[in-house]
Structure 1
């Protein structure tokens, strides 16, 4: 505690009317200006010789890195544009090939359908011709039967009326009446 009591008046100045604070005492100004000049000179030398060149190198390195990164980004951007163009070209070629393949498949299917339709039409025409032939045959048979039936009916009706007609005369009469109606 003794040391504290000795240091207290020196730290706070002399008693109430003591000397001023040493940094503000004009008697100390020349030494303070001397040390200020030495300190700023040393600081200037340290900054100009060591710190600022290192900072300049770091800043230059950073600018180079940024410029390289921008150049790389521009190069990659160009590559991506070229890749996109190649992809678009490949996609267009693939679409064209797909369209061509679809057109060929459509043409093939249409040809198969046309061939099958022609085959079916031929079969139907053949069946229709056969059916018409059978119908014509049946019609001819029916007409001959109708003619025979009409001849027999004519003979029978005339026979009831008391007129005797042979088969040839009855057939001629039926033929004349059929021709007049047809």
Structure 2
């Protein structure tokens, strides 16, 4: 009973008779109007989306698709250029190494030839000096040998004179020296 009094009090406060309060979309009296408004709203929303929003979104998606395709093409081209540059670098490096080895070999050959030439000049000079030294030694030896006979003769004369008290004759000394030499 208390609930009925509360409902009547609420109805009188709103200034009207007692009506059946419920969820408006489920009332059968308003289905036709609701369906008309639904159709109008759907058509307006469809026109708005198909004419304004979807073309803009399609343009944005196509723009992004073309930008991505262009970026991928640019990346592929840059990758190809990088590979070409790497290949060219490797080729240039190989050529530089071969040129460096050629120059080193040429320099070694040149230095070896110069060294051989200097060695031959030095050997020729040393051979000449050796020949001169041998000639000098032979001359000195011959000269010394020539003096040895005179020294031997003088020594033998001095020894015989000391031992015997009398100097031997020069022919006796020469004959003795000739006998020792032979």
| Counterpart contact for 2:158–2:167, Cα < 8 Å | no
1:65-97: CA deviation from partner (whole Å, max 9, x where unpaired): 211221221122112212221221122112211
Normalising to structure 1: TM-score of the pair? 0.74
Indicate the RMSD between aligned Cα atoms, in angstroms: 3.0
Q: What residue number does 1:74 align with?
A: 76
Q: What residue number does 1:149 align with?
A: 151
**Distance across 1 between alignment mates of 2:170 and 2:36:** 170
Q: What residue number does 1:166 align with?
A: 169
Normalising to structure 2: TM-score of the pair? 0.74
5+ long unaligned stretches in structure 2: 1-12
**Distance across 2 between alignment mates of 1:21 and 1:117:** 126
1:97-142: CA deviation from partner (whole Å, max 9, x where unpaired): 1221221122112111111111112112211211221122112212
Q: What residue number does 1:111 align with?
A: 113
Distance 1:141 1:18, change over 3 A: farther
Q: What residue number does 2:97 align with?
A: 95
5+ long unaligned stretches in structure 1: 1-12
**Distance across 1 between alignment mates of 2:139 and 2:21:** 154
Q: What residue number does 1:49 align with?
A: 51
Q: What residue number does 2:60 align with?
A: 58
Q: What residue number does 1:140 align with?
A: 142
Q: What residue number does 2:87 align with?
A: 85
Length, aligned pairs only = 167
Distance 1:148 1:56, change over 3 A: same
**Distance across 2 between alignment mates of 1:172 and 1:80:** 106
**Distance across 2 between alignment mates of 1:172 and 1:125:** 42
Cα distance, 1:59 vs structure 2: 0.9
Distance 1:169 1:31, change over 3 A: farther
